[in-house]
Amino acid sequence: MINGQCLCGAVTFKVDMPDDHMGETRYCYCSNCRRANGTAFSANVPVPVENYTLLTGTDAITEFESSPGTQRAFCSKCGSPVYGKKVDDPGHIRIRLGTLDQDAKATPVAHAWTSEKPAWHNIDGYLKRFKESADGTGGTPK
Ligand SMILES: [Zn+2]
Ligand SMILES: [Zn+2]
């Protein structure tokens, strides 16, 4: 069991995954992730909705449709991004690894949307790079 929370602590949640392993993580450089997080990229991991439990803060959460069919939820008090949801993938909730309390076990698998990567950030390392989505929905490895 891994717990997570927003910066102010109003929103808390838990994720129950085998061996506390969160799964496959994609570093996403799309302009929406950059703006939503204020950083070069977002460390996103889709977990099955049945493994995710919101413990507190339902009233503090605001959902924002950043693109058609994609909801980004953030804490209205402190602004932390707490999850994302996609209409075309209702079985998963996308959490941001940085909101987890403990060191999360996750397997980085790809850099996504490198076509929108800011010039001031360099990607190092061996992971596959995709100019667009790395979810297997039209991404183009480069
Ligand atoms: Zn908060
Ligand atoms: Zn993104």
Q: Given pLDDT bands bounded at 50, 70 and 90, which one contains residue 9?
A: very high
Neighbours of ion ligand 2 (CB under 5 A): 28, 30, 33
- Over residues 5-20, the mean pLDDT reads 95
Q: Find the 76 Cα to ligand 1 centroid distance in Å.
A: 7
pLDDT confidence of residue 133: 87
pLDDT confidence of residue 136: 58
- Per-residue pLDDT of 84-114, as tens digits, reads 999 999 999 999 999 998 777 888 899 999 9
Q: Find the 116 Cα to ligand 2 centroid distance in Å.
A: 9
Q: Find the 3 Cα to ligand 2 centroid distance in Å.
A: 23
Q: What domains sit in the chain, N to C, each tagged with a CATH number?
A: 2-129 (2.170.150.70)
The secondary structure element, H or E, covering residue 36 is helix 31-37
Note the ligand closest to the C-alpha atom of 27: 2
Q: Given pLDDT bands bounded at 50, 70 and 90, which one contains residue 138?
A: very low
